[in-house]
């Protein structure tokens, strides 16, 4: 006979036990939301993706929790950006004693470099996102050969979408007058976008958000905005908007809305997927830079 307590325990087990289908899924961890979305696109329902730095989160300065360690410990595959983006990650993986295989997607692209080191924001160029997707497809296929056909088909369909996205961005930016394609963002996250699509970005903060912005940096940007006819100043979803607002108010430049730099929006926002976030950014740029 079941006691009251064991009956309760049984019903709790029924509630929290994962379904059979769920237990068969390959546990995968992505370091931040954008890679999480790409893995989801390629892995489909064969993988269970957990993202460490979620929507609107800043991966440069993230502080991992014990729960993150537990997720990493259970993962079979761990997809990260690298190029100096997630400085906290190596320690987390070590301390979690994870046996999961780590794939550093940024290692596959031609990285931009400046005085501060490598620029991690490779995903801002859709051609690089395609390289990430191909690496994810190959990694999943090696880990789960049975799913190879599915990963191939998912990747093929998604890569076609990315080709269309790339063409769409190019077309939208090409339609803007060249002399207006100069904007300010908060941190230097758009170097890859700038070089592929032809919009110049200037930013008071470098390629990481770790360093404090000095008064001198801000003064320099304000001078540049005034002398170089910057069309608009943009806020980023991961950054404090006050700096951008101050630059706009001190220079009279137009405020250009929010750009998704290093993270997706939540599910209700207009940048909930990589494709949506890039589309949103281009729309914001086109709106602010149209004559
Ligand atoms: Zn960044």
Q: What spacing in Å lies between the alpha carbon of 101 and ligand 1's midpoint?
A: 25
The answer to whether residues 190 and 124 touch, using CB atoms and an 8 Å cutoff, is yes
Q: What spacing in Å lies between the alpha carbon of 255 and ligand 1's midpoint?
A: 20
Cα–Cα nearest to 243, from 184, 166, 174? 184
The answer to whether residues 120 and 106 touch, using CB atoms and an 8 Å cutoff, is yes
Q: What spacing in Å lies between the alpha carbon of 189 and ligand 1's midpoint?
A: 5
Tokens linked to 158 = 């998604």
All structural domains of the chain with their residue ranges: 20-168, 177-289
pLDDT tens-digit readout, 95-143: 999 999 999 999 999 999 987 789 999 999 999 999 999 999 999 999 9
pLDDT tens-digit readout, 178-192: 999 999 999 999 999
In Å, how far from its chain's centre is CA 30?
10
Q: What is this structure's pTM?
A: 0.90
pLDDT tens-digit readout, 14-60: 555 555 455 689 999 999 999 999 999 999 999 999 999 999 999 99
Q: Quick one: pLDDT at residue 12?
A: 55
Q: What spacing in Å lies between the alpha carbon of 252 and ligand 1's midpoint?
A: 26
Q: Do domains 20-168 and 177-289 have the same CATH topology?
A: yes
Mean pLDDT, residues 230-257: 92
Which pairs with CB-CB distance under 8 Å and at least 24 residues apart come from 74-77?
74/27, 74/100, 75/27, 75/28, 75/29, 75/50, 75/100, 76/26, 76/27, 76/28, 76/100, 76/101, 76/143, 77/26, 77/28, 77/29, 77/101, 77/103, 77/139, 77/140, 77/143
What is the CATH number assigned to the segment(s) 177-289? 3.40.50.1980
Residues in the chain: 291
Q: Which CATH number fits domain 20-168: 3.40.50.1000, 3.40.50.1980, 1.20.1730.10, 3.40.640.10?
A: 3.40.50.1980
Q: What spacing in Å lies between the alpha carbon of 5 and ligand 1's midpoint?
A: 51
Q: What spacing in Å lies between the alpha carbon of 207 and ligand 1's midpoint?
A: 6
pLDDT class for 4, splitting at 50, 70, 90?
low
Helix, strand or coil, per DSSP, at residue 121: coil
Q: What spacing in Å lies between the alpha carbon of 187 and ligand 1's midpoint?
A: 7
Q: What spacing in Å lies between the alpha carbon of 266 and ligand 1's midpoint?
A: 18
């Amino acid at each position: 006979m079941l006691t009251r307590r064991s009956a309760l325990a049984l019903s709790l087990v029924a509630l929290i036990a994962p379904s059979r289908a769920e237990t068969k899924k390959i546990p995968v961890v992505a370091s931040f939301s954008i890679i999480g979305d790409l893995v989801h696109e390629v892995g489909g329902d064969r993988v269970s993706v957990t993202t460490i730095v979620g929507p609107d989160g800043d991966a440069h300065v993230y502080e991992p929790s014990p729960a993150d360690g537990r997720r990493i410990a259970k993962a079979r595959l761990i997809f990260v950006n690298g190029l100096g983006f997630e400085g906290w990650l190596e320690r987390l993986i070590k301390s979690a004693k994870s046996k999961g295989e780590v794939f550093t997607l940024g290692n596959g692209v031609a990285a931009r470099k400046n005085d501060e080191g490598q620029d991690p924001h490779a995903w801002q160029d859709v051609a690089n996102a395609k390289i990430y997707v191909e690496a994810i497809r190959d990694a999943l296929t090696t880990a789960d050969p049975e799913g190879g056909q599915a990963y191939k088909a998912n990747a093929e369909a998604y890569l076609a979408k990315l080709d269309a996205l790339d063409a769409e961005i190019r077309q939208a930016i090409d339609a803007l007058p060249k002399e207006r394609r100069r904007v300010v963002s908060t941190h230097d996250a758009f170097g890859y976008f700038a070089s592929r699509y032809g919009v110049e970005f200037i930013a008071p903060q470098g390629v990481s958000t770790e360093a404090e912005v000095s008064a001198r940096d801000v003064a320099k940007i304000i001078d540049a905005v005034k002398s170089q006819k910057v069309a608009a100043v943009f806020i980023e979803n991961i950054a404090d908007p006050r700096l951008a607002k101050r630059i706009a108010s001190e220079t009279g430049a137009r405020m250009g809305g929010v750009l998704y730099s290093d993270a997706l929006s939540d599910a209700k926002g207009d940048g909930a997927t990589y494709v949506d976030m890039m589309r949103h950014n281009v729309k914001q740029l086109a709106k602010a830079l149209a004559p």
